[in-house]
Amino acid sequence: MRILVRALQMLKVGGRVVYSTCSMNPIENEAVIAAAIERCGGPDHVELIDCSKELPDLKRVDGLNTWKVLDRDGRTWNSWEEVEEHRKSEGITGLGRLAASMFPPTENFHLERCMRVYPHLQDTGGFFITVLEKKTEIRAKPEDSTKVIPKASVAAVLEELDQKNRDGTGGFLDKIEA
The angle formed by the CA atoms of residues 93, 99 and 103, to the nearest 5 degrees, is 130
Residue 134, helix vs strand vs coil: strand
CA 59, 65, 70, 76 dihedral sign is negative
DSSP 75-105: -EES-HHHHHHHHHHHT-S--SS-BGGGSPP
- Determine contact, residues 34/26, Cβ cutoff 8 Å: no
- Determine contact, residues 133/49, Cβ cutoff 8 Å: yes
Among this protein's residues, is 22 annotated catalytic?
Answer: yes
89: left (phi over 0), alpha (psi -120 to 50) or beta: alpha
* Amino acid (1-letter code) at residue 28: E
Residue 5 φ/ψ, nearest 5 degrees? -60, -40
Instruction: Find the catalytic residue in 22, 40, 51, 114.
Output: 22
Report the catalytic residues: 22
